[in-house]
Structure 1
Amino acid sequence: MSAPHPSRKRWRAAGAASAGAILLGTVGFTAVAGAEEAAPQPVPEAPADSAPLAGAELPFVTQEAEDAEHGGSVIGPDVTQGTVASEASGRSAVELAAGQSVTFTLTEAANATTVVYNVPEGTQGSLTVEVNGQAIEESIPLSDRFQYFDAPWIAGSTTHHFFTHERLPLGQDLAAGDTVSFVANGPVTLDGADFEQVAAPAEAPAGALDVTELGADPTGQSDSSQAFVEAVAQGRGGTVWIPPGTYQVNQPLYVENVTIRGAGSWHSVVHSSRFVNQGEGPGDVHISDFAVIGDVTERVDSNPDNFVNGSLGPNSSVSGMWLQHLKVGLWLTGNNDDLVVERNRIVDMAADGLNLNGNAHDVRVRNNYLRNTGDDALAMWSLPQANSGASFDGNTVIQPNLANGIAIYGGENIQVTNNYVRDTNALGSGIAISNQAFMEPFFPLSGTITVDGNTLVSTGALNPNWDHPMSALRVDAYNHAIEADINITDTTVLESPWSAFQFVSGSGTGLATDRVTIDGAEVDGVGTVVVQAETTGEVTIQNVTATDVGAAGVYNCPFPTDKAPLTINDGGGNTGLDTEWDDCETWPQPE
């Protein structure tokens, strides 16, 4: 899509017959550098003591390395695509040389940690771990194996996926006030660390079929595929138990009418890059409380390198899982009616975290944590059939490094509620509500799309294909006009590097956006504008409070230029939107 050209802009009171531009002074804001500049684009970080206003209930506490005691060098803040800092949470991290360290002071009890790190390409290393100044026996291995991904078939992408997670039991119970130090044994960039109190392994349910009774090897030395295949076949109608241990499963499973359960995601660990792969199933599958860790070192879209690829069948669930180093956590096609996906950690995916890829009815995805995905963290694609009645509720999404935090592409009566999305990169917004078809048949947005109670922190990006920004929350009439009722309510936007709300027809054809209402939003910090309107149609905005606005309240320049500008009905209760960018030949640059 090319940049829009001059046109008349419109901002009018609801029900008024005509409009006039309202030009007042702007509020200064220091944010990213200009789009045309080669210099890094710094972005202010959200206040360190600000608590998430939405998102998942997490069993761990995250501490940022740049906020801890350290002997290294802070990089960032920076939102420039392709830089290591831009893919760190808070857009900052700490570079350590050999012998340098980061020391965290615990705020809650913990007996385990997970570090998020980057090492230079082609290198390996380790971190010595010290508890209250004393080195423990175990160290944390470091490797670039799951870093530096390329996807040249995706226009506008660069090398990405700079960070990965490594977890370690600390071997002792620590209290608030204790310290944990990570000492570098070579160059490493530390983004941060999670600390948690991991419960003891759960006991096997009565009557469960133990995979080790069928020959599964809990040492991980030999392939346990046959034992798992036999267990899920024999265990139909009951529970298959995965006791503490490490298992290799190199053959994907077919599952139906079975519960597969582990002793906890820190205790029962399955190494598999293709755990379930099936087109359809009768359903009643329940998978919970173990880890599936793959070995996916590149994104190959034709490969089913996913935890679940296809259908679990109706009335199924996935809960309490740790999913890592796969292409996609759950790529869901076929019949998954009434599926519940909750309380999972999905990290270091080469592509999506979860994608409802058509025919998803009444699916509930809630209270999950997703970080460092190589595409949309949570997505719904209404192709080749429509999704309906599905919801993303109360999830936490951190740093999708190539696309959106949450993306809804078509579908009927969809809900996106109470989610916390932070630090998007390159080709995405925090939340995208879109009619981008990708392929046919595609089912555009219809019915009522509810987007309520979401918090977006440092989201939006400079799209290298458009050469202009994508906002924190985007409504996109890409291939089809927006004709659904889209209700965006109670939204919090903090420190967006570019803009807060965007109305666009991303294909460059100027399809209309209608029947959209923004009602209730707190916007604190945007680099350019609050409302970025680039297509025609009519929307209503009310009860929006915007502060620290960079260039102007509204940019309203449709493309193509023969289209009428977006009619923005002022429903009342707005502050910070009463200025307009008046030069459609230029893009406002962050101030």
Structure 2
Amino acid sequence: METTTRPIPRRWLAAVLGAALACTGAATAVARTAGIAHAATAAHSPLAARSPLAVAGRGAIVPFTELEAEAARTNGTVIGPDRTYTSLPSEASGRSAVKLDAAGQYVEFTLTQPANAVTVRYSLPDNAAGTGITAPMELSADGTRLKDLSFTSKYGWFYGSYPFTNSPGDKPHHFYDETRALFGKTLPAGAKVRITLPSTAATPSATVDVADFEQVAAPVTQPADSLAVTDYGADPSGAADSTSAFQKAVDAGKAQGKTVWIPQGTFRLTDHVVVDQVTLRGAGPWYSVLTGRSSTDRTRAAGIYGKYVSGGGYSGQIRPQEAGGPSRNVTLKDFAILGEITERIDEDQVNGLGGAMSDSTVDNLWIQHTKVGAWMDGPMDNFHIKNSRILDQTADGVNFHWGVTNSSVENTFLRNTGDDGLAMWADTKTNAGDTFKNNTVVAPILANNIAIYGGKDISVTDNVVADTLTNGGGIHVGNRFSGVGPGNGTDVSGTFTLARNTTIRAGNTDIGWPFPIGAIWFDARASAIDKATIKVTDTDILDSSYSAIMFVSGTTKGVEFNNVNIDGTGTFAMQFNDPASASFTNVTAKHLGFTEPVYSCLGSQLSLTQGAGNSGWNSKLPATYCGEWPKPNYDHNGTDPTPPPTSPPPSPTENLAKGRPVTASGSVDQYVPEKAVDGDATSYWESTNNAFPQWLTVDLGATRSVGRVVLKLPPATAWGARTQTLSVLGSTDGSSFGELLASKSYRFDPATGNTATVTLPAGTGTRYLRIRVTANTGWPAAQFSEVEAYTS
């Protein structure tokens, strides 16, 4: 391998990555326990305002009542609904919010339940330096001022494609943040709580998305015979660094078999506190708060970590006190970690929770403004997170990484994560027997609400997910990312149970692909998904941004859909980009956004077995739609779906292969086939070493006339000149290939752009274009940074 030209491998490689309207109605309350339908806010989309907290029996039981700003009384401007990546309303709950841009503009919520506290989700503009704006907002009730809320944008506004930057530029995203406040008294139902922009001196505008009102209980009292961190020197004022005091207290708690108590206060930590065989408990997440970050080492910040396992999932430097894991018999309960992380640097261990903790429980924690809420590096067993809130992360909400077994996340509310909301990643050591159950995951800014990368016998049940933004869907199962595959025994296997889940406004565009992603989707790019039975049962797929169900990248088999309700899509009910074998019983679809319900160009490579009770999507089978991607249509209230688009013939300068589905005989590490069609000449595909012949096949989507193929390698001078011997093959069905051009040697030289042009015989037509390589003088594998196809 030519490591001098390669970037550091990263788990998040996928991210190579209104009219003004015065709303004077009362706010609509939604809560998981109430089962109240949320009012529609857009006349053209009756499904657009479904609330993820109004699904009876599914999702997290939350302690708050959620009120949407766009359904409240306001003299501001309602923005949205809009699902377009990088637009301000696209990241809002329900895809709409209220913008205040003049002094005195407000949003006024009418309480439906008594409350003494509120959490407000909002957005402020960034500043020119990318460090954010902080501005006061007035909070009042029934005309009486309560206090000021501090809104800030220092934790938001990322730019560009992955890896993101905080410097203002293109593709702005991650706009929203959350702040919380206790009122100091209980307000009754019917009270009118107003958030007002008092002035535009500090900020030109403020956008209010949603307010969560709750009745916070009195603080928990210190348990008998417990050790208080203040007894060891911890400072509840937050002025002094309490890291050492916390560590001494938890070590003493382990030695004496006693609970360690965090009293009311804000405690500043500048590094991890390492826990083992101890209970660490606070007075409640509104009262006992951990915060802080080192001023000299930005890789160190407040966090509670278990001990790492030697040779385990974390490959970075482990301090002596963090070794010797996994930690065991740890309980973390009733406190908050409100971090100070404003950027995303994947190598930094600045997560809320981390390391390895077996036989351990996390209960009623509030984790906000860390990189990942809980990044757990195994091997570890029997670890459980429950009854918690994870908000405003720069990366994942929770990730079970590397050999996490028999563990779960349950009854937890997640919103505004910077990557997957909940993830399991079987990176070189399989995850097994894990469960995500009764969680609510809203507005992940990148990737999926829930994602399972490899693993065995996994359950995802009774969850509600909503408002995917880009590069992901609502629920995802895939053989993808490094360390996931049959060579490690970490690929998808056993029984996967995806049951009683609800997706709302899930799926969206992928900035690296020319086609969108479905609400529930499967990706077999690293290896075929063919060792598991995947059961998708009793599931509601509502108001999907594009398709409801999608298969892509490689071959997926063994998926069983039973009792699935598809209600509202932007495009198709089913989207098959790559070969799939699946069965469908009682799968119904209505309110589709496109006249053709099934997308597939696969012909006989698509195997759909139908049981009883299917309707709304299968009437034209085996015929399917194979054409240009339609624009999404969310007008499902009596308007005809979008008709198939008419496609002009491609121009001679159009690269027919860019962004198309691609497969290969093999690949190494992150140098996957998609790199050869991503339009970026600096990234590349590399086949399995020392295993010629090797091939790469691009699906052009339909039979096209191809006059020339341009092959590229990265232009960097670090690449030495080389000659690759190759032939060109074609196919109309993806299985039977014929030779279009005989084998020949082609020179790639950085001095001339590292490019070779292959001219095909006149009149060559093919849908599947395959480049077959038998030799390479520079490396024992096939290598291409781009495979481009043109009509002439």
CA pair 467-328 structure 1, distance change in 2 beyond 3 A: same
Alignment counterpart, residue 475 of structure 1, candidates 515, 518, 522: 522
Note the residue ranges of structure 2 that are not aligned, 5 or more in a row: 1-41, 128-132, 293-300, 309-324, 634-792
Counterparts of 1:495-514 in structure 2 under 5 Å? 495-505=543-553, 511-514=554-557
CA pair 524-42 structure 1, distance change in 2 beyond 3 A: closer
CA pair 205-65 structure 1, distance change in 2 beyond 3 A: same
Mapped partners of 2:591, 2:302: distance in 1: 47
Counterparts of 1:21-100 in structure 2 under 5 Å? 45-47=48-50, 51-53=54-56, 54-97=58-101, 98-100=103-105
Are residue 119 (structure 1) and residue 124 (structure 2) matched?
Answer: yes
Which residue number in structure 2 is paired with residue 275 of structure 1? 303
Aligned pairs, number: 543
Shift of 1:422: 0.5
Mapped partners of 1:50, 1:271: distance in 2: 29
Which residue number in structure 2 is paired with residue 25 of structure 1? none
| Paired AA for residue 412 in structure 1 | K
Mapped partners of 1:544, 1:382: distance in 2: 31
1:142-163 Cα offsets, whole Å, 9 max, x none, are: 1110010236335999332110
Which residue number in structure 1 is paired with residue 463 of structure 2? 419
Residues 553, 578 of structure 1: 8 Å contact kept: no
CA pair 50-119 structure 1, distance change in 2 beyond 3 A: closer
Mapped partners of 1:500, 1:327: distance in 2: 30
Are residue 101 (structure 1) and residue 102 (structure 2) matched?
Answer: no
Are residue 206 (structure 1) and residue 248 (structure 2) matched?
Answer: no
Counterparts of 1:149-548 in structure 2 under 5 Å? 149-150=158-159, 152-154=161-163, 158-185=171-198, 186=200, 187-236=205-254, 237-272=257-292, 273-277=301-305, 278-279=307-308, 280-312=325-357, 314-439=358-483, 441=488, 443-483=490-530, 484-505=532-553, 511-548=554-591
| Paired AA for residue 55 in structure 1 | G
CA pair 50-298 structure 1, distance change in 2 beyond 3 A: closer
Provide the secondary structure at the position in 2 that maps to 1:468: coil
Residues 596, 625 of structure 2: 8 Å contact kept: no
Residues 552, 577 of structure 1: 8 Å contact kept: no
Mapped partners of 2:629, 2:390: distance in 1: 37
Shift of 1:552: 4.0
1:179-212 Cα offsets, whole Å, 9 max, x none, are: 1100113310000100000000001111110011
Mapped partners of 2:579, 2:561: distance in 1: 17
Shift of 1:336: 2.6
Which residue number in structure 2 is paired with residue 9 of structure 1? none
Residues 43, 78 of structure 1: 8 Å contact kept: no
Mapped partners of 1:47, 1:297: distance in 2: 31
CA pair 448-216 structure 1, distance change in 2 beyond 3 A: same
1:526-559 Cα offsets, whole Å, 9 max, x none, are: 111111112113110110121111114643424x
Are residue 573 (structure 1) and residue 613 (structure 2) matched?
Answer: yes
| Paired AA for residue 140 in structure 2 | E
* RMSD over equivalenced CA pairs, Å: 2.1
Which residue number in structure 2 is paired with residue 144 of structure 1? 153
Mapped partners of 1:154, 1:520: distance in 2: 40
Shift of 1:436: 0.9
CA pair 438-552 structure 1, distance change in 2 beyond 3 A: farther
| Paired AA for residue 92 in structure 1 | S
| Paired AA for residue 585 in structure 1 | G
Mapped partners of 1:326, 1:49: distance in 2: 24
CA pair 412-47 structure 1, distance change in 2 beyond 3 A: closer
Mapped partners of 2:580, 2:172: distance in 1: 37
Shift of 1:589: 2.8
Provide the secondary structure at the position in 2 that maps to 1:153: coil
* Structure showing greater relative contact order (alpha-carbon pairs closer than 8 Å, 6 or more residues apart): 1
Residues 42, 76 of structure 1: 8 Å contact kept: no
Shift of 1:335: 3.2
Which residue number in structure 2 is paired with residue 10 of structure 1? none
1:62-82 Cα offsets, whole Å, 9 max, x none, are: 110000001100111111111
Provide the secondary structure at the position in 2 that maps to 1:169: strand
Residues 155, 465 of structure 1: 8 Å contact kept: no
| Paired AA for residue 169 in structure 1 | L
Mapped partners of 1:473, 1:377: distance in 2: 15
Residues 417, 454 of structure 1: 8 Å contact kept: yes
| Paired AA for residue 180 in structure 1 | V
Residues 414, 450 of structure 1: 8 Å contact kept: yes
Shift of 1:49: 11
Shift of 1:404: 0.2
Percent identity of paired positions between Structure 1 and Structure 2: 40
CA pair 478-230 structure 1, distance change in 2 beyond 3 A: same
Provide the secondary structure at the position in 2 that maps to 1:66: helix
CA pair 455-45 structure 1, distance change in 2 beyond 3 A: same
Mapped partners of 2:524, 2:80: distance in 1: 34
Residues 44, 77 of structure 1: 8 Å contact kept: no
| Paired AA for residue 108 in structure 2 | T
Query: Which of 567-576 and 197-206 deviates more?
Result: 567-576
CA pair 199-300 structure 1, distance change in 2 beyond 3 A: same
| Paired AA for residue 529 in structure 1 | F
Residues 160, 402 of structure 1: 8 Å contact kept: no
Note the residue ranges of structure 1 that are not aligned, 5 or more in a row: 1-31, 33-40, 506-510
1:11-66 Cα offsets, whole Å, 9 max, x none, are: xxxxxxxxxxxxxxxxxxxxx9xxxxxxxx99951346982241000000111000
Residues 456, 494 of structure 1: 8 Å contact kept: yes
Mapped partners of 2:171, 2:333: distance in 1: 35
Mapped partners of 1:101, 1:328: distance in 2: 33
Please tell me whether Structure 1 or Structure 2 has the larger radius of gyration of its CA atoms: 2
| Paired AA for residue 454 in structure 1 | N
| Paired AA for residue 304 in structure 2 | V
CA pair 477-544 structure 1, distance change in 2 beyond 3 A: same
